Structures are given as C-alpha cells and as structure tokens.
Structure 1
Amino acid sequence: MKKINILYIALLSLFAISCDSYLDETPDNRAEVDSQIKIRKLLVSAYSEGSPTLVTELSSDNIIDMGSSNPNTTRFYEQLANWESVTETDNDDPKSAWEASYGAIANSNEALAAIEKLGSENLLPEKGEALITRAYAHFVLVNVFCKHYNSQSSATDLGIPYMEKSETTLNPKYERGTVKEVYEKINADIEAALPLISDDMYEVPAYHFTKKAAYAFAARFNLYYEQWQKAKDYASIVLTTNPSTQLRSWDDLGALPRSPGPVTNAYINNSANLLVQTDGSNLGLYFGAYYTGSRFNHSRKIADEETLFAPAPWGGVASSTYHLRPFVYSGNNLDKTLFMKIPYLFEYTDPVAGIGYRRTVVVPFTTDETLLVRAEAEVMLGENDLAMTDLNTWSKNFFVDKETTLEAVNTFYSNLPYSTADVPTQKKVLNPKFTLAAGVQENLIHYVLQCRRILTLHEGLRWFDIKRYGIEINRQQIQSDGTTAIVLDVLKVNDLRRAIQLPQDVIDAGLVSNPR
C-alpha cells in the first residue's frame, strides 16, 4: 500500500478520491471548479514549476569536469554530469520535474473535466489552454525520460503514461505505452488547442500559452516529430512576414551595465520571450557569477573550442563579436564563461531570519529560437536559400552585424575536422535516424545546430539536439596541471543513458524503469 501511495503522489500529484460514504463532501476540501473564473484560476497551476533544465544541461556537451581538486560540486551534480541514475535529492532533480509536470497535467485535466461539465461551447479559450498545457507537460516528460522520437523504433520504445483525465480510482495501474503513442496524443492535443486559444483571456500573457507561444511550441514539436513542413508553417505564424522585428534586441542588452542583475532582469522581461515560467531552482546560482557548480560547468576551454569563441563561417569570434558580451569568470576553482540570462532570485519566507527559497525564471520559447526552428525545417525541406535568409536574419541581430553565404557555410564545415577527444571542435559526427544528405545539407545543419547551441546555452535544449542527431559526447576531465583533459566516459550513439532514468520512487511503485 505504501508503494501504491508513492506512485499515486509521485506520478500524478492528483486530488483525493471521493466516496459514497462521504456523501457530497469533497475529501480534500478543495473548492468546486464550477465557473469560468475558477477554471482560469486553476489553469494558472497548469504550468510546471519544476524544470528539467539543469538535468538536461549537465547531461549535454556544454559542460566539462574541472577535476577532483575543485570542491564546488555535489553528488547530485556529479551523477547528472556522468549520466548516472540520480539517487540524491535536489530542487532540480528528475523527481521534481516529474512530479511538477504531472501535477500540471492533473490541473489541466481537472479544468477540462469542469469545462465539459459546464458546456465547452462557452469556454473554448479555456479549453484551448488546458489542452496545450497538457500537451506541453507530456512533451517535456517524454523527451527527458524516453528515447527521442524517430520513425524507426518509437513504435516500441518505452513512453510515459499519458494522462487524459483525472484519476478516480484508489489503485490505478499505469502503462508507459510507446514514444510513438505519446507523440500522437501530444499532436492531437496541440491540433485541437491551436484554433481555440485566445490572448484576450490572459491578464498576464507572458506566463500563459498565448497564440504565439502555442504556435512556437507546435513548431518545435513538429521539428522533433520530423514533420518539417508543419514545423516551418507554425514557426512562420509566430515570426510574421518580417521576422527581424520580432527578435530580441541584443544590442539593448549589451548596452546595459555589465552586471548580472540588470542583464538577467532585462532578459526575462522582453517581448521576444513567448512564454516565461517561474521555477524553484538553483539555475541562477549554477549559471551565475558564483562558485556553486563550478566543477561541472561551461568553461573557457569549451567556449574556445566548441561554443562561444569557436570560429564561424564568417570568421573568428571574440567577445567584441557579440552585442551581449559573454561574462568570463576565472580564478581559483572558478572557471565559468556564461551568457547572463538566468536570474538568481530569492523568495524570503522570513526576512528577519533571512530564510526562504531560491527561485529563477526560465524562458521555454523565444522568437529567436523559433526562427532557428524554421531554418532547420527549411534545410530538411531542401529550401537552402530560405534557410540562409533566416540564419542571416538571426546572426545579424545576435552578433554585431554578421552574415554569411551558403557557399561560405558549405566550405567552412567541409574543411572543419570532425570533433575528436584529442581535438574537439563544434562539428560533431551526426547520426540521425532520419535521412540527412552528406555535403551541403549536413553542413547547413551543422551551422543551425551551432547557432542554437550558442543561443540556448544554459537552457538545456542542447541535450535534445544531441538525442535527435545521435551526437556522441566525450565527458572530459581537466587534470591537475590545469590544461590537460582526459576522457572519463563516452555517451555513445545508442547509449541507453540518453533516456534519463525515472525517479526511484516511481520505479519502486511499479512503473517500468528505463533499461540500462
């Protein structure tokens, strides 16, 4: 019974079960969701406050192990960086993301049930928000805890339970289904939601799936779903006919005082952000000007060889190349090269005692990233000139007026060696399970992946590109001389560890674990 209760809480965070013996009394004393205003209030909780960002970022090739002499780590961080099953408890652990996502789903389903009871014809915008939030939470879960979608094996790859209604039984049994089935249900929810969403219902649109946010999600989902045309079409709705007017003003960010506070606050308060979410997380510390997490972090070595300062088709890259110059920290056991975009916020519960909760704000969707989604879809559709137009629109805005040509991109990546353990570069061997032609198409994809890797640094999205394109990772560790790096482990193309292991409580309660 204890295990059943653990599954019930960890999997769903759902409401208590009513029973005839209690007559009409609600066992958990919650208010009845019996009006439009109550449904809207409930939907505020249909957005997860537990992001997997730190889990996926530390799993990616954006970090390096600075060595055992660096004490600024925890067992939890080490487990993530080394692709181990997490046994430690932390605000940013997989269990938190799992519970928060299923809790959000429960609220979406409760809202949908109330809408059906009241008559959905008068609550279509609310229904649209409930459907899109349900789809997004499942999208996060399936991409973190499962193998990535592909047309070859997803019909048999383990998925996650797709919850389409509130639980009403005492001893529910859940099946994981397949990745293909989960993707099909996400797609159905998205398609049903898109025509219904109305921005008019939101008092604070930035924290909700507005039309643009919903279409940005639909674009990314279809990119992952290998539906290139739909990804392009949905991204185009977000970007309008003049994408350059929709992008973030990196020039304005670069003009701010060189201090984390003003820059991160300006980053999260910007019209280019299509959706923002609060998060009870240490991300602002981990990817901020602090010693926290400095053993496993984005160091100057990675920045020079693979990311921020690696050469580009249009030439060399330095701090002056960027409107918002990277923040470089170096010192005794502090080696971080960062984009300041994730604020460190503190919510005081007792100001006198100085105690409270560490929090941050994450930005799941931006116009800049949506433009790169469209560029990638165009490459896969063979529309190279259109892809180059989008890539140049992005690069001229992100960098100090940098653009290139199709010929230059093709020449640059053709001449750039593939990354090895001894000589790392930003050009990784690609092993997707969809068709990618050698030559121009592959080289354009290398450029798109590099642009996205830089743009979304510290945001966890690189992990999903690694999974989608079958990129191997060499986990390097800096040795005592401070310069020599050795490879401790390799995440192979078909490594089972690419699917983050389910929380142990959920496994103990009976849900099938990811194979290892």
Structure 2
Amino acid sequence: MRRYKIVIAFLLVNTGMTSCRKYVEDVPVQGQRVLVYTEDYRALMNASGDRQEVAFGLAPLMSSDDVDLSAAEIQNNFKTNNIQTAIYTWRKPFYTDLGQDNDWNAMYAAMYTYNVVIDGVMDSKGGDQLLKQTILSEALMHRAFTYFSLVNLYGKQYDAATAETDLGVPLMLKAALFVNLKRASVKQVYEQVMKDIRAAIPILPVKQDINFRPNKPSAYALLSKVYLNMRDFPNAAAFADSTLALSNTLYNYNIAFNGGNFIFPSQFEDKQILLRKVPRVTFSAPQLSQAILDLLGTKDLRYQLFVKQGGSFYPAFTGQGFWSREKYSGPPDKPAVGLSVNETWLIKAECLARAGKKDEAVDMLNTLRKLRFLPADYTDLSAATAADALQLVVNERRREFFGSGLRWFDQRRLNKDAQFAKTVTRVFDGNTYTLAPNSNNYVFPLANILIAQNPEIEQNP
C-alpha cells in the first residue's frame, strides 16, 4: 500500500502570531503531495493524535470542585505559573500580553482540518462513493464534537431564554483565509453541532475498526449529550436509547482490579469508549478535594484504581491525588473525555429520574455500580423520591468521571437546578476565592492576543 505525507501547512496571518485565520498551502515539496486522492483524505483523518487529543486541556479539571490544590508543595510550585494560578482561582484574564490559549488554538487548527476534508473529499479521485461519504461523516462528527467543546468552554451554559443572544464562538465552516470571526450565539453553535451530527448519521457505520473513528452509536451519544445540556430531557433520553440499542457494554472494574494487581485495559480495548478523545495535556499533581474522596469511599474500585497518596506524584504533596488510567496502560491513555457508553448510561438514568421514574433510574445505577465494586463490598442503592434518585445519579456521574475535567461541565449545567447550585470556595496563597452559581467565571476568557489580532471577536464579561 502506498503511503503519502499529506501537506497541510497552517500559515499565520500575523507573522509570529497564532490566530484563527489559517489556510492550506497547495505547493508540494519533493516527496510530498497535496490532497488529491480519497486515500489522502483517509490518511488525514487517520492522523490519530490530532483526532484524539484535540480536546480541552487542564482548565476544566483545575477549575472544577474535583480538585483542591491546598497542599503547600503544590501552591509553592504554582506561584511560578501565572496562567495555572489564574485558572485555579477563577481570575481573569488567564492569558496576558502575548500569552496563547493553546486549547483554543489546537481546537481551531483541528477545525480547519475537518473543513478541508468536508470541502474536498467528495471531489477526490480514486475512492468509491461510500468511502468518501464515510470520511465526510467522520469529519462532520469531529467538527460537531469540537464545537460542542468550544461553546461549553468559552460560551455561557445553554439557556433557552438567552441562548439566542449569549455569545458563543466563531463558526468557521469553510477552509478559507478570510472569514467573519464575529462570535455566533450559543444557540447558533448548538444548531450547527446538531446539523453536523444529523448529516453524519445516515452514512456512519454501526461499528468502526478503531474507536477514534466516529460511528452511529457515538453520533447518537453526542446528540443525547447536546440535548442534556439544552435541558431537553425527553430528547436526551431518546438518543441515549438509540445509542444503547447499538452499543451498551459497560466495563467491569473487577477485571481491572485483578485481585489488587491493577490491570487496566487500553482505551482502544475498552468497549465503553464510543469515540476516543483525550485531553491535550494533563496535570502532573491533581490533588483531589475531600468532597470527592468522601463521595467515593475506600471500597469503591474507582477509588482503589484511581486514587494515590500524594507521594506518588511529582511534585510530591500531602494529600491524595488522581491516578490516571495512563499509569496502567501507557501514555496514550489520558483520561477519557470523549463519548462513552457509561456516560450515555448515566444520561439515561438522569432523564428517568427527572421524569419521575425513580425506580428505573436507580436500577440503571445499580447495574453500573455492581461493576465498580467487589461483590462482597457492594450494596444496592435505593431512593424514596425522584429528587433523591436524581441526587444519586449526579453523585454517580461525579464518581465515574472524577479527574477527567468532565465535572466542570456538570457544574455549569447543574447550576440551573436549585437542588445542585452551590458556591465553591478555595484558598490560594492565603487568599480566599469563591465561584458563585452561574457566575461569569464559569465562562473561560479568550486570550487577549486573540482579541488584539481579531478585534471583531468580543471578549467575555
């Protein structure tokens, strides 16, 4: 099989600066060539690192109430990093002067690649129509996932009453040099996400040979997640059902525990993973909050697998920290932040609880939880009311995804529920910082350099 190195050079509009405006240079270098054949687009979409790691980085985890970086060793280390300090204390701006937001840059660079594929693959040479359509549908799904991530980092939480006017992110839907970078509304971004997913679904296969390629279950899972964030719980439940009808395998942590030998599978072998996405970077010493430690308890296999004493980390610290699955299966396996059966399972359980079907919701929780405890340590949950069942689901989501950064997105959306809205407080370097429900600090600021380069992009409040 012939292999080609694909030429996609992202050049900067402003010399030495990184911005949204990037384009493809179609000048081949000896030994290289531009995108011409369908197999070129297949190779581009097979660039696994780019497709899998272009997700958010440290900020959601460091901002969330999963972590409490109170250890003196960590705080002393943090004092030399103004960006991490600002993120941890919810102070704006995160990035001053020429500081770059590498999460934003990476996601928009990936967006350009998806647009190149979407614009060109159907006119490529040599491939059959189904292959071209499949590659197109994969690019649409990756673009949808990336825009959903962007709008939930840099835009306000979706609220039907204000989404039409709340600032979202720039919608770049063509591989073009000069585009309008004015921020679309939150509603417009959500509509584009759903449009891309729905366009992809008819062509996506039910199964792919590797889980960084989107398939039908992952598309339904993303729709379910989008509707959950819109508080359209009937549709979230319906698309969760569509996902689980095609893929419903939950991983049994008893296998990973292996009598205390801790053998955890690669995400490529984990049947829970519907679409593999991992953070761009991870934090070396993620000290866990007492709240999540209390919620886990010591018998939960997620505690035994993913919590270690601070002396196991660098820098070492007093307390306990999140021990990522990559410690078991290798560096590629950073926390799973893509689409999964277990998250879709819990979305369905949440929708059942919100619909007043408390017993069905708790039954789903117990099915999952039996796979998270040794049989001798497991006790079924029960709920007296639908509100109790909903609390149990929210607690389980926190246990299932702690250390990944996904908790931050739950904090944002659950602020819309009086039952869950709360003020978060933390102390850094002797100063106390608070994060109130629905605060503007739940919306990450744009890098100042981005605004300076592209003045039509409005800064967050």
TM-score strictly above 0.5: yes
Q: Compared with structure 1, are the counterparts of its residues 213 and 3 closer, same or farther at alpha carbon in structure 2 (3 Å cutoff)?
A: closer
Letter in 2 for 1:341: R
Equivalent residue of 1:131, what SS? helix
* Long gaps (5+) in structure 1: 19-24, 287-291, 310-318, 347-357, 411-439, 480-485
Displacement of 1:402 after TM fit? 3.1
Mapped pair 1:127 → 2:136 = yes
Q: Which residue is equivalent to 2:285?
A: 293
Correspondence for 1:467 among 409, 412, 425: 412
Distance 2:100 2:30 in 1: 27
Superposed displacement of residue 80, structure 1: 1.2
The structure carrying a bigger strand percent of its residues is 1
Match of 2:435 in 1: 491
Alignment TM-score, normalising by the size of structure 2:
0.81
Q: Does 1:42 align with 2:44?
A: yes
Letter of the aligned partner of 2:435 in structure 1?
A: L
Equivalent residue runs for 1:181-330 within 5 Å: 181-198=188-205, 202=208, 204-240=209-245, 243=248, 246-255=249-258, 258=261, 262-263=263-264, 266=266, 269-277=269-277, 280-281=280-281, 283=282, 286=283, 292-293=284-285, 297-299=287-289, 301-305=290-294, 307-309=295-297, 319-322=298-301, 325=304, 326-330=306-310
* Unaligned segments of structure 2, at least 5 residues: 1-10, 416-420
Instruction: Count how many residue pairs are aligned between Structure 1 and Structure 2.
Output: 427
User: Structure 2 residue aligned with 1:393, among 348, 367, 382?
Assistant: 367
In structure 1, C-alpha distance between the alignment counterparts of 2:19 and 2:329, rounded to whole Å: 27
| Cα distance between partner residues in 1 of 2:448 and 2:15 | 10
Tell me, yes or no, if the aligned pair for 2:138 and 2:204 is still in contact at 8 Å. yes
Q: Answer whether contact 2:359 2:383 (CA < 8 A) is retained.
A: yes
Residues 445-503 of structure 1 deviation map (CA, whole Å, 9 limit, x = unaligned): 22211111111011111111111121334222389xxxxxx981211123111110112
| Secondary structure, aligned partner of 2:172 | coil
- Alignment partner, residue 397 of structure 2: 452
Q: CA deviation at 1:13?
A: 4.3
- Which residue in 2 is equivalent to 1:101? 107
Q: 1:136 is matched by which residue type in structure 2?
A: F
Contact preservation (8 Å) 1:8, 1:14: no
What does 1:153-172 align with in structure 2 at a 5 Å threshold? 153-169=162-178, 172=179
Residue 195 of structure 1: SS of its match in structure 2? coil
Q: Within the alignment, does 1:361 sit opposite 2:334 as a pair?
A: yes
1:54 aligned partner, one-letter code:
L
Deviation at 1:308, TM superposition (A): 1.7
CA contact (8 A) 1:61 1:473 kept: no
Shift of 1:31: 3.1
Structure-1 separation of matches of 2:246 and 2:203: 23
CA RMSD in angstroms comes to: 3.4
Change (3 A) 1:390 1:278: closer
**Cα displacement string for residues 374-421 of structure 1 (whole angstroms, at most 9, x for unaligned residues):** 1112223333332222122112222343322232xx4xxxxxxxxxxx
What is the alpha-carbon distance in structure 2 between the residues aligned to residue 28 and residue 56 of structure 1? 43
Is contact 1:132-1:209 (8 Å) kept? yes
Which residue number corresponds to residue 312 of structure 1? Answer: none
Deviation per CA, 1:128-163: give whole Å up to 9, x if none. 111111111111111111111110111110011112
Which of 173, 182, 205 aligns to 1:175? It is 182
Cα distance change, pair 105–118 in 1 and its aligned pair in 2 (3 A): same
Specify the code of the residue in structure 1 equivalent to 2:253. Answer: W
Distance 2:333 2:59 in 1: 15
User: Aligned partners of 1:9 and 1:127: how far apart in 2?
Assistant: 27
CA contact 1:115–1:127 (8 Å) conserved in 2: yes
Q: Is the 8 A contact 2:57 2:103 kept in 1?
A: no
Confirm whether residue 402 of structure 1 aligns to residue 382 of structure 2.
no
Instruction: Tell me the SS of whatever aligns to 2:43.
Output: helix
Alignment of 1:67-78 (within 5 A): 68=72, 70=74, 71-73=76-78, 74-78=81-85
Q: Identity over the aligned pairs, expressed in percent?
A: 20
Measured after TM superposition, the shift of residue 240 of structure 1 is: 2.9
- 1:143–1:459 CA distance, 2 compared to 1 (3 A): same
